Amino acid sequence: MAKIKLEYIWLDGYKPTQNMRSKTKVEEHENFQGTLEELGNWSFDGSSTRQASGGASDCILKPVAIYPDPERKNGYLVMSEVLNADGTPHESNGRATIDDDDNDFWFGFEQEYFIMDAHTQLPLGFPIGGYPAPQGLYYCSVGGRNTHGRDLVEEHADLCIEAGLNFEGINQEVACGQWEFQLFAKGAKKAGDEIWIARYLLDRLTEKYGYYIEYHPKPLGKEMDWNGSGMHANFSNTTLRTCGDKATYEAICEAFRPVVDEHIAVYGEFNDQRLTGLHETAAITDFSYGVSDRGASIRIPIITVEKGWKGWLEDRRPASNADPYKVAGRIVKTVKTAKI
């Protein structure tokens, strides 16, 4: 018999931005295979996470995805949904609202973030009491003058790959101390699972570096002339991948126009500070789409057009602190209303 460490990970009930929580369950298994079928539900004190009252505090953790934990011996990362005591989805459970049981929707998320020095509480590369050189030379930079935090970023990439995530890339972003990673998954729920596990690994990794990760979309203030952080959502379904028709693409884009407010409501706190119409964003009150247009709400990738209108779309509006479950769920719902 071997002792197995199961790290149950869930989202708390804080509004409008939920936080990750986790705790470890140690179980004995004779021949653990790392499958969901081998896991049971667990409970936690919801009164400590704004998910229950003290008089009826138990909430249930339902495992929905499991990955090897690359930093723990006999360890596994268990992404979990939160259920009420009666087994129904908790109101904070965004994953349960996604209507994609056949995994027809594929998502590729581009997660931007700032690496912050826990001592100075400034992004890496920022001098105390001042500012680094203006943005311009940081994007995809090489060398110690403009590149900050590569050791952490490289280690995080290795951890994600070792955990079995479909990790697709990293790059330094436009602002000093700002980075991005990309993940792709076939299935909206799976895409959300993998972003949250990747965030968990990133946040946990900072504990040994003396850093923390800032997911605020405009951590330097909306008045600062620096790019904000987003979580661009690249998405497709069978129609987008195979239709070969410009009119169909335009009809799907137009389905987003009347529900701008519904999308913005789940696209992240403080997103109004980022979606100003500047710094490669559309204004939060507008809706637009265009081929290869990074200033539009939805970008139609040029490669999609070159392949005869077969590919995907990119919603550039989600903020870096958005819940990928809620973003994916809202996009799926809107695409399904398109008149095609």
What's residue 223's pLDDT?
67
What's residue 65's pLDDT?
98
Please, are residues 241 and 294 in contact by the beta-carbon 8 Å criterion? no
Q: Which residue has the higher pLDDT, 18 or 286?
A: 18
Confidence of residue 232 (pLDDT cuts 50, 70, 90): very high
Whether 2-97 shares its CATH topology with 106-336 is answered: no
> What type of residue sits at position 73?
K
Q: Was domain 106-336 assigned CATH 3.40.50.10710?
A: no
Half-sphere exposure of 236 (CA within 13 A, CB side): 17
Q: What is the pLDDT of residues 283-314, one digit of tens each?
A: 898 899 999 988 899 999 999 999 999 999 99
Q: What percent of the chain lies above the pLDDT cut of 90?
A: 88
- 67: β partners: 77
In the structure encoding, which two tokens stand for residue 230, read together? Answer: 């987003």
What's residue 135's pLDDT?
87
- pLDDT at position 134 over 90: no
Confidence of residue 279 (pLDDT cuts 50, 70, 90): low
Q: Answer left, alpha or beta for residue 248, where phi above 0 means left and psi between -120 and 50 means alpha.
A: alpha
Q: What is the pLDDT of residues 166-225, one digit of tens each?
A: 999 999 999 999 999 999 999 999 999 999 999 999 999 999 999 999 999 999 876 667
What's residue 130's pLDDT?
82
> What type of residue sits at position 225?
D
Q: Was domain 2-97 assigned CATH 3.30.360.10?
A: no
173: three-class secondary structure by DSSP: coil
Q: What percent of the chain lies above the pLDDT cut of 70?
A: 98
Q: What is the C-alpha to C-alpha distance for residues 40 and 80, in angstroms, rounded to an integer?
A: 11
**Domain ranges for the chain:** 2-97, 106-336
Span 247-254, average pLDDT: 98
Span 34-63, average pLDDT: 95
